[in-house]
Amino acid sequence: MADKQSKQTPPRKSRYTADHGMAGAFEGETVTRRRFMTGGALAAGGIASAAFALPALGFALAPMFKDATPDRWQDVGPESDFNPTTYVPRVVNTDPGVGEAGKATIYVRKFDPESDKPSPSDQGKDPIPYVVVSTRCAHLGCPVRYYQAPKRFVCPCHGGIYDFQGKVAGGPPVRPLDRFDARASNGRVEVGERFSVNSELRRFSPRDPSNHLDGLWQYLYPSRPST
């Protein structure tokens, strides 16, 4: 009878890591303690990784949720100064916080319903009544100049060429010239915040020069507050 009971009762497993043949086991260490220390080390590693990863992730994604509505408008002249056939240069301050260093030249013309098409991102909305183009080349940021005869923007640094819409027509630029919001108010033209566009003139938050915006590139080059 005693022999039958001893066969039915399984032997009690040892609680020491050395008896289980675990790597790095030492005398007196229990399995419970090993699991606790392993879990604690993994938790500490996860917290340390999050401390580095979360700020970087927030820095990259925060601009995607930023309100893009212009909150500062600059007067660039009466509506009579502008027409749909040519660009007129004007100077605006893109960063008032740095004074004269924040001033930049822009090109302004009236929107032409026959040749200009609203951005795909603005479908169903009233088009911006004026086309305002940045002079900062989308290659490395050199200032471009508009030539009326060929109706081209030309960058003197590396030969970048843009057509009348500001789209890339030749050279190394990776996307069209940036644009600015614009509106007419009391007979005056006002310019708002800058934004970037892809090859379809789809609107995006501002990007640095050399940052692509077509396809998956738009996710690899997120907007940065410094642009």
- pLDDT tens for 105-161 read 999 999 988 888 766 656 556 678 999 999 999 999 999 999 999 999 999 999 999
Domain identity same for 124 and 167: yes
The answer to whether residue 5 is domain-embedded is: no
Amino acid identity, position 175: R
Q: Give the residue numbers spanning the domain of 38.
A: 17-64
The answer to whether residue 104 is domain-embedded is: yes
Domain identity same for 208 and 166: yes
CA angle 59, 60, 61 (to 5 degrees): 100
pLDDT value at 69 more than 50:
no
The answer to whether residue 9 is domain-embedded is: no
Tell me, what's the pLDDT at 34?
54
Domain identity same for 60 and 141: no
Domain identity same for 116 and 147: yes
Number of domains in the chain: 2
- In the predicted model, what is the mean pLDDT of residues 37-65? 67
How many Å apart are CA 140 and CA 8, to the nearest integer? 81
The beta strands (E) that lie in the chain are given as 74-78, 88-93, 103-110, 130-134, 145-147, 152-154, 161-162, 168-170, 179-185, 188-197, 203-204
Amino acid identity, position 181: D
The answer to whether residue 43 is domain-embedded is: yes
Domain identity same for 31 and 88: no
Domain identity same for 95 and 35: no
pLDDT value at 90 more than 90:
yes
The answer to whether residue 11 is domain-embedded is: no
pLDDT value at 164 more than 90:
yes
User: Which of 37, 64, 91 is where one domain is finished?
Assistant: 64
Tell me, what's the pLDDT at 66?
53
The answer to whether residue 10 is domain-embedded is: no
Confidence category of residue 190, pLDDT binned at 50, 70, 90? very high
Helix (H, G, I), strand (E, B) or coil at 120: helix
The answer to whether residue 189 is domain-embedded is: yes
How many Å apart are CA 131 and CA 16, to the nearest integer? 77
pLDDT value at 219 more than 50:
yes
Domain identity same for 46 and 81: no
Tell me, what's the pLDDT at 226?
55
Domain identity same for 35 and 137: no
Domain identity same for 81 and 40: no
Domain identity same for 93 and 149: yes
Domain containing residue 94: CATH number: 2.102.10.10
The answer to whether residue 3 is domain-embedded is: no
Q: pLDDT tens across 56-66, in order?
A: 666 555 555 55
Domain identity same for 54 and 75: no
Domain identity same for 125 and 40: no
